[in-house]
Amino acid sequence: MDQIYSALLTMSLGVAGCILYFWGSNWLLGIIFPFRGQSHEQAARNLRIASSVRPWLFLGPALFFLFLYLVYPVIDSLRLSFMGRSGEEFVGISNYVWLFNDPEFQESLKNNVLWLLIVPAASTFFGLIIAALTDRVSWGNIAKSLIFMPMAISFIGASIIWKFIYDYRPTGSDQIGLLNAFVEYLGFEPQAWIAVPFWNNLFLMIILVWIQTGFAMVILSAALRGIPEETVEAAVLDGANGLQIFFKILVPQIWGTIAVVWTTITITVLKVFDIVLAMTNGQWNSQVLANMMFDWMFRGGGDFGRGAAIAVIIMVAVVPIMVWNIRNAQAQMEDR
């Protein structure tokens, strides 16, 4: 409990500090560049200076944090990826040479490509279907809320939920995992699903699809509702059936949103490591880049050079999406 109090105290101090900064710097600005009781020109000049400085005071803390926690580390990671394990000596591109010859990395890369192909596609697909279906039933909001719920669960919690489903008991004893019980009910042999190379990747991906579908559903459902009614009515009058309306009228109008959902999930996929860490920790050929990076950060005391090199590979995969996002946002701002 003491800990909570001290956290609350630190927090109040922090918040008070923030307020003091914003208020104090503003006040200081008024002292240094006063505009009352000055000659006309002087007041006008001071006012101009103060109003050109003030935005930077407002932005200051944010810029500081963004720089220290995001901009500088990106640059430093790039630098470190050319350094040795302690990050002190320059080793050229040998980290990258090692990386591309490392079987574990090749396997991670292959698995990551699979993840990137399957998870965004499956989540978006299910999200779209569920969004379209739930809009048609009276209890759709409850249904949506329940399907959306996994979003609130941590990756590691979700991993436990699914590990329990995949649980394996040898033939003959009662299965306590839902999947194996079902498989046995159908008359097949139970399997230790997460230890079957290649296919175990799919079982891990299901967890992320389970979590991300709710996100896709919420965004796509809003997009579907934003479609002008007239287009659907016109199609109905022309005699289109439900499926035709969905695929030929509705989906083409929300391509933009589908792309947004797809890319957002793609980025999540690149960063996810908790699921692999909890389920297999990369055993049975299920390694992915993010978990491999985490592993090298601490393996044998930590190899900063190699860890940074893997981080850079992940970053390189993100850059196209980043550029696309910025261009989209800029185009949108110009529209306004």
Decide whether 4 or 186 has the Cβ nearer to other proteins.
4
Which structure tokens are listed for 334?
Answer: 């110009």
Name the amino acid, one letter, at 120: P
Q: How far is the CB of 56 from other proteins (least distance, A)?
A: 7
* Exposed e or buried b per residue across 162-175, where buried means at least 16 C-beta atoms within 10 angstroms of its C-beta: bbebbbeeeeeeeb
Decide whether 71 or 97 has the Cβ nearer to other proteins.
71
* Local structure of residue 170 (DSSP, 8 states): -
The closest alpha carbon to 211, from 158, 264, 263, belongs to 158
Q: How far is the CB of 331 from other proteins (least distance, A)?
A: 10
Q: How far is the CB of 42 from other proteins (least distance, A)?
A: 19
Q: How far is the CB of 306 from other proteins (least distance, A)?
A: 10
The closest alpha carbon to 121, from 197, 187, 202, belongs to 202
Q: Match 């490509």 to its residue by tokens.
A: 113
Decide whether 237 or 333 has the Cβ nearer to other proteins.
333
Decide whether 3 or 101 has the Cβ nearer to other proteins.
3
Q: How far is the CB of 313 from other proteins (least distance, A)?
A: 9
Decide whether 234 or 329 has the Cβ nearer to other proteins.
329
Q: How far is the CB of 108 from other proteins (least distance, A)?
A: 13
- Distance of CA 235 to CAs 44, 65, 227, 241, 243, Å? 63, 52, 13, 8, 11
Cβ 246 vs Cβ 132: under 8 Å? yes
Q: How far is the CB of 8 from other proteins (least distance, A)?
A: 7
Instruction: Give one DSSP letter per residue of 267-305, joined into a string.
Output: HHHHH--HHHHHHTTTTTTT--HHHHHHHHHHGGG--HH
- Distance of CA 37 to CAs 24, 31, 52, 254, Å? 21, 12, 21, 59
Decide whether 58 or 199 has the Cβ nearer to other proteins.
58
CA distance 159 to 208: 9
Q: How far is the CB of 191 from other proteins (least distance, A)?
A: 16
Decide whether 64 or 199 has the Cβ nearer to other proteins.
64
Cβ 99 vs Cβ 105: under 8 Å? yes
